[in-house]
Amino acid sequence: MIQIYDTDVVFHKEWYALKNINLKIEKGEFIFVTGPSGCGKTTLLRLMYMDLFPTKGEVIVAGFHSSSIKTKEIPFLRRKIGVICPDFKLLQDRDAFDNIAFALQVTGTARKLIKEKVLKTLADVHLSHKRDSFPFQLSGGEQQKVSIARALVREPFILLADEPTGNVDPESTKEILELLKDINASGTAVIMATHEIHLVQKSPFRKIAVKMGEVIEDTKDNLKEEIFLDKL
């Protein structure tokens, strides 16, 4: 579903944010990307939704190749990729319902269907009782759940969660992790980047550890040869 081949990302011609990345991610996987601040986690996620293109190498996501995707195809790819970030990025002048609905309005979904889907997704993130609340009336944890719902309502095949617990309290951190596991159990692949190693240490899920732009450990180590055979 996602393949990354011999990929480097270089900023300002000399700064290697990522170096020699080879990864294969299957449908429905749950993966933690870990490593200290500045190691390249966000850059790796940006490659996966083609917000950024490799300086060297190739990224293939859902059949789209970074070397050949057309600009007008990128929105179609993004519709099937949910992205959440540490600072929620909710629209401040819309309540929870409308923030989630907005994700469907921009794709031209019919109003009745939007209402149905938004109500279901609000229930999925256990926030039905907050549907009329504005972001300033919600805790950090609740805002993050709204942003998860906004990503989920488009029924993505993958959810990219960049430090989703970075700005929430410990109790909400647990709830958000549980929520991500539920989402994964229902079939969506989840890739969560975090520098909070204690959150993932005991988890049975695949872990990809990044250090200074390089993958230093992958608990499901695809042999490089195997990744390349797949490309043929």
**Residues interacting with Mg ion, by CB under 5 A?**
41-42
Q: Which residues contact 190 (CB under 8 A, 6 or more apart)?
A: 29, 30, 31, 158, 159, 161, 180, 181, 183, 184
Q: Closer to Mg ion by CB, 78 or 195: give it.
A: 195
Q: Which does 43 bind (CB under 5 to 8 A by kind): Mg ion, ligand ADP, none?
A: ligand ADP
Question: Of 37-56, which residues contact ligand ADP (CB under 6 A)?
Answer: 37-43
- How many residues touch ligand ADP under the rule CB under 6 A: the total is 12
Instruction: Give CA–CA dist 65/60, Å, rounded.
Output: 4
| Residue from the set 2, 4, 17, 100 that interacts with ligand ADP by CB under 6 A | 17
Residue 210: strand pairing partners: 215
Cα→Cα distances 35→151, 166, 180, 223, Å = 24, 14, 20, 22
The yes or no reply on residue 11 touching ligand ADP (CB under 6 A) is yes
Q: How many CB atoms are located within 10 Å of the residue 15 CB?
A: 9
Taking the complex as a whole, the smallest distance from the CB of residue 177 to ligand ADP amounts, in Å, to: 19
By beta-carbon proximity to Mg ion, the closer residue of 43 and 121 is 43
- Cα–chain-centroid distance for residue 138? 22
- In the complex, what is the shortest distance from the CB of residue 12 to ligand ADP, in angstroms, rounded to a whole number? 6
Cβ proximity to ligand ADP: between 17 and 101 the closer is: 17
Span of 11-19, 24-32, 85-93, 177-185 interacting with ligand ADP by CB under 6 A: 11-19
3-state helix/strand/coil string of 86-131? CCCCCCCCCCHHHHHHHHHHCCCCCHHHHHHHHHHHHHHCCCHHHC
Cβ closest to Mg ion, residue 178 vs residue 196: 196
Residues that bind ligand ADP (CB under 6 A): 11-12, 15, 17, 35, 37-43
